[in-house]
């Protein structure tokens, strides 16, 4: 398949929420108490909600920035690319990168709405979370039908409320929800606990995929504070293996046979090793650990029920015969620092060379559309959705680097994780 004929759907990108997002969605009684953007003393911007301050960390919005200005410090809207927070600019950036559709994870609320869950006033927290979801589905995704796969945030403090929100979102056409790779790190029960069963039931009933994004336990992999930051960047995607192990050995997949999980930004190249490992553990240890998969193997259950995705994972794609090609999707990670934007088609094309057209279509868009119950070609035809067609509409998009004196890194010392730790949300 020619690169220009690819249809690309990214199952993991990120949005930076714009200041006015609550205006049309929050009930009047909560309007004054909804999160708002304020300018900090250092000139950067932050969201504030019930006294909690949430900054936008640099690395999370570096699209279009020269790599020597990447960093973990807080930023301001005027320093980040409009496509991060403005839907019209975002669609143009997608066009310029040949991306037909995209699913967007949140920024300041954290991956499963931890920021809202910390609200002292639970009713306020729920109102804000619902307003967030309404803004996301109706305004951000609604502006360009067929271009954005909606993704909801759950009220993680109450499994029954989570179930209600999943059902409410499904009625709005949203069949995707973000959850935590390890809720115990957020002081909630583990993935092994029946505590979450109402949530799993609703997701199962509504055909809603539970997405576990790397970092959704509010933690990053820190081997030591003086480790070069490259250590954390290297390890973060594969750390999702911990959630993969939790999922396969927990009762959840077997108890809810129609429930699908997705490991977002986790990559795929390590998975064949993992599958061999879980089957070996099962055969060697089940006599005393009492795991029971009936007539199946853990690897078979994993391959059927856990959706995977990758940004740039040549070895993983080459090893696809070890995986389930119906459960692998592609992602772009715009506007994070691991993104291949605006060269995603060129990056992918190199190692899609040996694949059949059918294999390519499954990875690039068919799996994503099926998994997320997303009507990809109902609003735009396939012909209108190809890399070539989209890029032809975006020839005027400025793809040059935009530099900021303030963010330029000077010196040559290795950057350690200390810099990042200081800016992590609590």
Please provide the DSSP assignment of 172-233 as one string: TT--EEEE-S-GGGGTS--TTSGGGHHHHHHHHHHT-EEEEETTTTS----S-TTSBHHHHH
Residue 397 interacts with a copy of itself (CB under 8 A): yes or no: no
- Which residues in the 366-395 window bind a copy of itself by CB under 8 A? none
Closest approach, Cβ 144 to a copy of itself, in A, equals: 29
Residue 254 interacts with a copy of itself (CB under 8 A): yes or no: no
Report the sign of the C-alpha dihedral through residues 91, 210, 219, 415, in that order.
negative
| Phi, psi dihedrals of residue 139, rounded to the nearest 5° | -95, -55
Strands 45-49 and 36-39: antiparallel
The residues, ordered by sequence, that sit 6+ positions from 171 with a Cβ below 8 Å of its Cβ are: none
Q: Which of 64, 71, 155, 345 binds a copy of itself (CB under 8 A)?
A: 71
Instruction: Name the residue among 342, 399, 397, 390 with its Cα closest to residue 147.
Output: 390
> Of 78 and 412, which CB lies nearer to a copy of itself in the complex structure?
412
Closest approach, Cβ 38 to a copy of itself, in A, equals: 28
Q: Which of 89, 415, 421, 424 binds a copy of itself (CB under 8 A)?
A: 415
Where residue 8 falls (left for φ over 0; alpha for ψ -120 to 50; beta otherwise) is beta
| String marking each residue 127-166 x if it binds a copy of itself according to CB under 8 A | ----------------------------------------
> Of 71 and 83, which CB lies nearer to a copy of itself in the complex structure?
71
Closest approach, Cβ 382 to a copy of itself, in A, equals: 31
> Of 31 and 286, which CB lies nearer to a copy of itself in the complex structure?
286
- Which residues in the 320-359 window bind a copy of itself by CB under 8 A? 322, 337-338
The residues, ordered by sequence, that sit 6+ positions from 205 with a Cβ below 8 Å of its Cβ are: 167
| DSSP H stretches of helix in 63-183 | 87-96, 114-117, 122-134, 159-171
CB 102 within 8 A of CB 94: yes
Residue 19 interacts with a copy of itself (CB under 8 A): yes or no: no
Distance, CA of 56 to CA of 177 (rounded, Å): 22
Distance, CA of 410 to CA of 344 (rounded, Å): 29
Residue 261 interacts with a copy of itself (CB under 8 A): yes or no: no
Instruction: Name the residue among 349, 345, 329, 337 with its Cα closest to residue 390.
Output: 345
∠20-77-118 over CA atoms, to 5°?
A: 60
Tokens of 256: 């809810």
Closest approach, Cβ 269 to a copy of itself, in A, equals: 3
Residue 293 interacts with a copy of itself (CB under 8 A): yes or no: no
> Of 71 and 155, which CB lies nearer to a copy of itself in the complex structure?
71
- Which residues in the 73-92 window bind a copy of itself by CB under 8 A? none
> Of 354 and 411, which CB lies nearer to a copy of itself in the complex structure?
411
- Which residues in the 49-68 window bind a copy of itself by CB under 8 A? 66-68
| String marking each residue 208-247 x if it binds a copy of itself according to CB under 8 A | -------------x-xx-xxxxxx-xxx-xx--xxx-xx-
> Of 243 and 390, which CB lies nearer to a copy of itself in the complex structure?
243
> Of 14 and 365, which CB lies nearer to a copy of itself in the complex structure?
14
């Amino acid at each position: 398949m020619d690169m220009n004929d690819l249809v690309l759907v990214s199952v993991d990108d990120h949005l930076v929420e714009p200041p006015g997002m609550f205006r049309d969605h929050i009930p009047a009684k909560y309007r004054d108490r909804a999160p708002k953007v304020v300018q900090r003393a250092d000139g950067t911007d932050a969201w504030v909600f019930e006294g909690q301050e949430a900054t936008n960390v640099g690395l999370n919005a570096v699209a279009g920035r020269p790599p020597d200005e990447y960093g973990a410090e807080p930023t301001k809207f005027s320093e980040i690319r409009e496509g991060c927070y403005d839907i019209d600019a975002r669609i143009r950036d997608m066009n310029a990168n040949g991306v037909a559709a995209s699913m967007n994870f949140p920024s300041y609320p954290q991956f499963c709405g931890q920021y809202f869950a910390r609200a002292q006033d639970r009713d306020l927290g729920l109102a804000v979370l619902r307003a967030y979801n309404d803004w996301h589905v109706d305004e951000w995704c609604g502006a360009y039908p067929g271009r954005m796969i909606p993704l909801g945030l759950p009220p993680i403090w109450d499994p029954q409320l989570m179930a209600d929100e999943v059902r409410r979102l499904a009625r709005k056409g949203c069949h995707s929800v973000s959850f935590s790779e390890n809720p115990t790190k957020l002081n909630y029960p583990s993935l092994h606990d029946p505590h979450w069963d109402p949530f799993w039931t609703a997701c199962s009933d509504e055909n809603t995929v539970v997405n576990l994004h790397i970092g959704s336990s509010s933690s990053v992999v820190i081997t030591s504070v003086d480790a070069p930051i490259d250590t954390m960047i290297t390890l973060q995607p594969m750390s999702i293996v911990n959630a993969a192990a939790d999922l396969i050995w927990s009762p959840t997949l077997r108890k809810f046979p129609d429930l699908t999980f997705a490991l977002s930004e986790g990559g795929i190249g390590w998975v064949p090793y993992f599958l061999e490992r879980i089957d070996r553990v099962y055969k060697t240890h089940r006599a005393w650990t009492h795991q029971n998969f009936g007539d199946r193997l853990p690897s078979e259950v994993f391959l059927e029920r856990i959706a995977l995705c990758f940004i740039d994972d040549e070895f993983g794609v080459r090893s696809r015969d070890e995986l389930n090609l119906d459960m692998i999707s592609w992602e772009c990670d715009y506007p994070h620092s691991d993104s291949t934007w605006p060269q995603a088609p060129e990056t992918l094309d190199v190692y899609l060379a040996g694949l059949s057209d059918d294999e390519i279509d499954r990875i690039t868009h068919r799996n994503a559309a099926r998994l997320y119950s997303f009507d990809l070609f109902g609003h735009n035809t396939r012909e209108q959705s190809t890399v070539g067609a989209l890029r032809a509409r975006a020839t005027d998009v400025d793809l040059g680097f935009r530099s900021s004196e303030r963010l330029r890194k000077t010196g040559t010392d290795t950057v350690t994780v200390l810099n990042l730790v200081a800016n992590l949300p609590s």
